[in-house]
């Protein structure tokens, strides 16, 4: 077996190529566009299948240095925060609380499905966490953090492998089901968004206007960098106080504060909120982040998954789709924003927040803007639910 690891700059370059391959396929295959599959998902999955083929046929294990991916994640969530005006947050109060309540309820449902399934199938104690909210709602980061604890507590020597495998499959499923679910709801209820610029990215038919140039782009990147640096400081302060949250949460919160303070005290200063430059940088960051995440999946590690684990993940997928269609969409209002949130909820329930946002971005590029969805969903999935999930996992472990 030969191991090949591509360094950071090469990995970033490959990710850009992977994105363009996905964009080309989406442009040629109408079904991918109709199902709202993000370009990065199309290209990333194809790249992951290619590395799987290299492993199986040539005996080459390919891996990537993902340092650039982590920075892109910070850029993306900081951009979300810079778009969160106080008036929008106040307006989103009720929908935010409803979505938070629905997500907390599903957190319990997901762990009940995991507990019932593992008990019925006679799987080892401790598996409940790994096929429940730790790997699915929590994603890879939460899984990696809790796997050593589970291994020690329950004697699961392969806890890391099982958890990462479940999180990986959840990410793939979330990337594939969110767009079609939202598309189904939009078509069935004949919904359409307003004629406004999308919060992330430019519409497929948009042209480059004078307000989008190298000056506005560099100003936007400067504001993003300052917000990220402040986010690092906030993260360290929170850690000193005993609060351990993902770094991007601190960057998101810092950006929200900045975007509601700086324009008020310095009204003549350029600020990128709701500008085309910020939308473009956010789209770029998210697209390359997702391409790198998917192309780096080592699918050959899933070969040891038993039928029991696959059955549980199938049950979790069916439950998530049913919950989205019959609970989330109706209670969020049965309108266009609710359909976009329904598409993103697959990322909350099965994948990760960037997957949710990628799904929503693909939907809004085709059907119209949904700014409220892009404000409340990241707050729920990137902040509140992380805290609740930590308590839920701790309860299950103990």
Structurally, how many domains does the chain consist of?
A: 1
Contact by Cβ (8 Å): 356, 345: yes
Is 44 inside a domain boundary?
Answer: yes
Is 192 inside a domain boundary?
Answer: yes
Is 225 inside a domain boundary?
Answer: no
Distances (CA, A) of 267 to 214, 271, 291, 397: 22, 9, 37, 51
Which domain range does residue 366 map to?
2-204+285-397
pLDDT of residue 389: 84
Is 380 inside a domain boundary?
Answer: yes
Distances (CA, A) of 192 to 323, 358, 368: 22, 18, 6
Stretches where the chain sits below pLDDT 70 are 88-89, 141, 195-211, 302-306, 382-383
Is 59 inside a domain boundary?
Answer: yes
Contact by Cβ (8 Å): 113, 132: yes
Phi and psi at 3, nearest 5°, equal -105, 130
Query: Helix 214-240 to helix 276-295 angle, to the nearest 10 degrees?
Result: 60
Is 228 inside a domain boundary?
Answer: no
Give the three-class secondary structure for 269.
coil
pLDDT of residue 139: 81
pLDDT of residue 207: 46
Is 92 inside a domain boundary?
Answer: yes
Query: Helix 8-28 to helix 276-295 angle, to the nearest 10 degrees?
Result: 100
Is 210 inside a domain boundary?
Answer: no
């Amino acid at each position: 077996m030969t191991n090949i690891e591509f360094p950071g700059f090469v990995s970033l370059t490959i990710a850009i190529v992977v994105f363009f391959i996905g964009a080309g396929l989406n442009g040629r295959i109408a079904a991918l566009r109709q199902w709202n599959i993000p370009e990065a998902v199309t290209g990333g999955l194809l790249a992951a299948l290619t590395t799987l083929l290299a492993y199986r046929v040539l005996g080459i294990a390919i891996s990537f240095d993902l340092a650039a991916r982590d920075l892109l994640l910070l850029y993306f969530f900081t951009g979300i925060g810079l778009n969160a005006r106080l008036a929008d947050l106040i307006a989103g109060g009720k929908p935010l609380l409803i979505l938070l309540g629905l997500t907390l309820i599903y957190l319990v449902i997901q762990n009940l499905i995991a507990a019932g399934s593992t008990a019925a199938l006679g799987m080892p104690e401790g598996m409940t966490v790994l096929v429940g909210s730790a790997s699915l709602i929590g994603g890879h980061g939460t899984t990696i953090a809790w796997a050593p604890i589970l291994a020690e507590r329950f004697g699961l020597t392969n806890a890391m492998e099982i958890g990462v495998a479940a999180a990986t499959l959840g990410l793939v499923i979330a990337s594939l089901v969110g767009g079609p679910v939202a598309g189904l709801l939009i078509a069935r209820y004949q919904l359409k968004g307003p004629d406004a610029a999308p919060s992330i990215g430019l519409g497929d038919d948009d042209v480059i206007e004078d307000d989008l140039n190298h000056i506005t782009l560099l100003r936007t990147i400067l504001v993003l960098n300052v917000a990220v640096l402040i986010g690092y400081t906030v993260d360290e302060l929170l850690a000193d106080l005993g609060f351990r949250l993902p770094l991007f949460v601190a960057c998101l919160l810092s950006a929200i504060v900045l975007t509601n303070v700086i324009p008020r005290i310095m009204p003549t200063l350029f600020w990128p909120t709701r500008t085309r430059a910020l939308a473009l940088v956010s789209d770029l960051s998210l697209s390359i982040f997702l391409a790198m995440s998917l192309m780096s999946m080592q699918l050959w590690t899933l070969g040891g998954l038993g039928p029991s684990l696959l059955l549980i993940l199938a049950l979790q997928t069916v439950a998530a789709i049913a919950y989205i269609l019959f609970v989330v969409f109706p209670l969020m209002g049965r309108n266009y924003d609710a359909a976009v949130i329904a598409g993103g909820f697959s990322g909350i329930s099965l994948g990760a927040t960037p997957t949710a946002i990628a799904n929503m971005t693909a939907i809004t590029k085709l059907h119209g803007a949904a700014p409220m969805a892009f404000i409340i969903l990241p707050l729920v999935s990137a902040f509140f639910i992380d805290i609740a999930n930590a308590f839920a996992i701790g309860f299950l472990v103990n």
